[in-house]
Chains A and B, each alone.
Chain A
Amino acid sequence: MTTTLDMFTPAARETLVRAAQLAAAEGHSLIGPEFVLLALAEVRPLAGRPDGLGVTPAALHEQIRREQIKHDRGPRAQGDGVLLATLGIDAADVLRRASAATGVRPGDPALWSLSRSRIRPLRLTLDGPALRLRLTGESRKAIEVAAWSARRARRPLADREDLLWGLLADGSSPVVRVLAGLPVSIRALGDDLRTWHGSLPRRGRPAA
């Protein structure tokens, strides 16, 4: 089975791409599961909860920084925005203007692909405009559990809730550590996810 973004709903595709962008903005070359969580926190509702994860993206981001999660070599010392400012370039502004002029959004999932290395099947890579990030083992597992969860419920595509399910399924993932430092009940999240799951019709659920 090949892993591609096509396995996900448009909303879940946006989440994965956003996770890559968030990780890249911090100078990472790997997408840790905490960035998938952060991308999930940015869009509400989630799992039938009007307030989504129940924590603001800013608070979650702060907690992620505090945890200082290390993947591989760790992030570059400075993000690109900061480095480009040394050259007198406001990268965010340049991209914003190019995006407005071309009508192309760098985070448009159509410009991104998720692929598995043929030689190293444990390696999943998300490729986008000028960005290539590998998923950490925890992120890969989360995606695989998400796909399995949708398949099991006979839904054609994995949704954002399936991604959250995948993230929470791994007790050793940094995600659990991050959430533990916040006023978020993982148990309540799990309960709401189960309710959400139970409320879905089997089969025939529109892809969007």
Chain B
Amino acid sequence: MEAMTELADAVDSADPATGLAAVAALRRLADELEALHVSNARAQGWSWEAIAVALGVRRQSAHKKYAKHIAGGAR
């Protein structure tokens, strides 16, 4: 990928803007992965309790974050 080599330069330049933006992008990616796995867990019958424990958050935070979006989320 051509973009990769360009970016290697960007990293070497230690430009804070690039570094910070990359971290923000990583956070968005993590959120997206989390949503996929939470959805999968719900589909397999996991309780919000169990999901929260696995994510290391409080049950209410997990439920609040996803109940609206994930099918079978309300309970």
Residue numbers of A with Cβ under 8 A of B are: 76-78, 80, 82-87, 89, 91, 94-95, 98-99, 101-104, 106, 110-113, 127-131
B37 at the interface (CB under 8 A from A): yes
Q: Interface size for chain B: under 10, 10 to 19, 20 to 34, or 35 or more residues?
A: 20 to 34
Beta-carbon contact of B69 and A113 below 8 Å: yes
Contact of B37 with A130 in the complex, beta carbons under 8 Å? no
Q: How far is the CA of A57 from the CA of B1 in the complex (A)?
A: 22
Q: Are B21 and A77 in contact (CB under 8 A)?
A: yes
**Contact in complex: B36, A83 (CB < 8 Å):** no
- B28 near A130: Cβ-Cβ < 8 Å: yes
Main secondary structure of the interface of B (DSSP, over half): helix
Digitize B21-35: 1 where CB-to-A-CB distance is under 8 Å, 0 elsewhere: 110111011111111
Query: Residues of B with Cβ closer than 8 Å to A?
Result: 1, 3-4, 7-8, 10-11, 18-19, 21-22, 24-26, 28-37, 39-40, 43, 68-71
Distance of B45 from chain A, by nearest CB (Å): 14
Contact B33 A80 (CB under 8 A): no
Q: What residues of chain B lie closer than 8 Å to A83, measured between beta carbons?
A: 18, 21-22, 24-25
| Shortest Cβ distance from B18 into A: residue | A86
- Distance between A141 CB and nearest chain B CB, rounded to angstroms: 25
Name which residue of chain B comes closest to A99, CB basis: B36
Asked if B32 contacts A82 (CB within 8 A), the reply is no
**Could you tell me if A130 and B32 are in contact, using CB atoms closer than 8 angstroms?**
yes
Residues of chain A contacted by B36 (CB below 8 angstroms): 95, 98-99, 102, 104, 106, 129
